[in-house]
Structure 1
Amino acid sequence: MKVIIIEDEARTANELKNMLLAIDNDIEVLAILGSVSKAVDWFTHHPMPELIFSDIELGDGLSFELFKKVSIEVPVIFCTAFDEYAIRAFESNSIDYLLKPLDEAMLQKSLEKYLRLKEHLIQGEQRALNMERVIDQIELAYKQTILVNYREKIIPIRLQDVAFIYTLNGLVYLELDKNRRFTVPYTLEQFDSMIDPHQFFRANRKFILNRDFIEDIEYYFNRKLFITCKIESPEKIIISRVKAQPFLQWLES
């Protein structure tokens, strides 16, 4: 079986590859693709594999962008940390999933399911229509509003109004457009899987940025980037050299 892995975390991708080979050493991993752009280029110049394992959030966008740009004619097993709502969307469209962290027993079960259904899998135009429905359902699964406790009230905060999310002294804050600031009972890691990666970017271990509130970008020493937001931040927002190019690609997308 020839498979492709689309995953931007090298460790996770290698773990998945090793688990696949442990389950069946006849499996051939043709390539590990770490971004939407690399995946588009690969599928443009190579024949289709038999099966694709794909993360959802990649460094330069959602893997769904690949399926919009390239006609994928083979089954996809998504690797995701999304909640039960999103998983039901996958199942209703005959697309299997793996929850992170990856588990070898679940992986084997997914492979067995694929082999059982191989001859009956939907092909061509109907598969494309099903994929479009999955994309629509998953994009709707991102949080649009966060409820915060403020004094004796519960206040709904629209995420589109949040300039940036940041952590300071062990607390996580939402900074709004009118210099309103609220603490929330989530970590930045939890926000990573809750919010739309088209709208928000994890700049570093302290900040998640809303694209609509980015004022300008300056080159910093050692090829890093210094970000100025329309709302003053409590400290400098620096993007590392490694993240600089994915950040600029995200901002242009």
Structure 2
Amino acid sequence: MSKTPRTSGTSASVAVRHTALCTGLLLVAAAAAWAWVVLRWGGTGSGAMVEPPLPFLGTWTVMMAAMMLPGTAPVASLYARTVTVHRAPRTLAFAVGYVLVWAAAGIPAYALAVGTAEVATRHPAAGTTVAAAIFAINGVYQLTPLKDRCLTTCRSPIGHLLRYASYRGPLRDLRAGAHHGAYCLGCCWSLMLLLAAFGVMNVWAMVGLALVVVAEKQLPGGLRIARVVGIVSLALAVAVFWMPALAPGLTGGGDMTEM
């Protein structure tokens, strides 16, 4: 009679340790990605700085890992609790599937970066209008029901985690991570669009947006924070006509350290 509770307690303790290990690995990966970005770019970056396609996609993937993994680490931790064996490898596979979705988003991001570089270097007068459009798009999307739905799923993924438990096959963890990543992309794509205005490789802008993502996903008032961010973005869409330096990636206003 006394052995069952002790065995159960031991199993629970092992599960907690494995879950903490999985979460720690993701946070270490995010920290390593941040270190790489900071050492490479040093806080600067403008819309005019566009690498060739493949290097850009590699840089973009590291950027997204740095910005998005801290916000999704709690979900990965919950996923690890649903896994009974090989928790660390399977949780890492979940994270890889998640990052792959954001890596794929680098394809349209590259096209946008090239376009904004063209505007910043050849048509700086039009950059203010483009920046206002970008701020307005993000502001409007932040206030839509689709944003609320995607954000709610990211904040409360229990239903999807139960669905992931039914996945079978060697790619089940990648599929689960990619599915969650798709909802995260639906939640945050317009925030990443702001990088075109602030500077695609602007580390300070990355830090600010990463904090917004974490706040929306993890703080109790995340849905209200999303709406406040939307309202602020709409205000920036108007203010940028009087202060073009608010969008240094498009108006030639320098990087964010000069603001």
Higher strand share: 1
Task: Answer 1 or 2: higher relative contact order, Cα 8 Å, separation at least 6.
Answer: 2
- Output the TM-score relative to the length of structure 2: 0.27
- Output the TM-score relative to the length of structure 1: 0.27
